[in-house]
Amino acid sequence: MDILSNFSENLSELLFDNHLTAEQLSKAVAIDRSVIYRYLRKECLPSLKNSVIIADFLNCSLDFLFGLSPVNHKSHSKSEASFSLQFRKMLQENSMTRYEFQKKLGFAEQSIADWFHGKRLPSAENAVRIAQFFACSLDDLTQRE
């Protein structure tokens, strides 16, 4: 199954398990109801920032939400700046430059620079690729505990 289907199905399950409607989730996390429905209809993935907000509210791990782990290791985010710090750390631990990382994964140089300097977060799909490349969980990558 693909990441879009995994996310949609797991979000539906979590809403059901928590006795919540899409409207209730929308209000609780301040994401427009129509956008929540687009996630549920497998039309798009949320941004990494919105993914963390949803996972925090539903008390689940990002890996579970995206179908990367069958087990829900509950996590909560520390801060938005955490990704940049962890990304730098993983590059350093793997003795890899940003240029080498760019060549291996094919990301735009500017995107990598923005992530490295904390100017923006990668898309959820790119975050999954980064986590898989570094063989870590999404929750580790975003420093959720």
Q: In the chain, which segments carry CATH 1.10.260.40?
A: 3-65, 82-141
- CA 121 vs. chain centroid, Å, equals 9
User: Using CA atoms, how far apart are residues 36 and 47, in angstroms rounded to an integer?
Assistant: 12
Q: Which tens digits make up the pLDDT trace of 112-130?
A: 999 999 999 999 999 999 9
Overall residue count recorded for the chain in this entry:
145
pLDDT of residue 81: 59
Among 6-10, 67-71, 80-84, 128-132, name the one with the lowest average pLDDT. Answer: 80-84
Query: Shortest CA distance to 107 belongs to which of 135, 79, 86, 128?
Result: 128
Q: Kindly report the backbone phi and psi dihedral angles of residue 9, in degrees, each rounded to the nearest multiple of 5, phi listed first.
A: -65, -40
Class of domain 3-65: mainly alpha
Residue pointed to by tokens 């956008």: 35
User: Using CA atoms, how far apart are residues 95 and 84, in angstroms rounded to an integer?
Assistant: 17
User: Using CA atoms, how far apart are residues 100 and 44, in angstroms rounded to an integer?
Assistant: 30
Mean pLDDT across the stretch 67-77?
Answer: 78
* Both structure tokens of 32: 């427009």
- Contact present, 31 and 37 (Cβ < 8 Å): no
pTM: 0.85
82-141 topology per CATH: 434 Repressor (Amino-terminal Domain) (1.10.260)
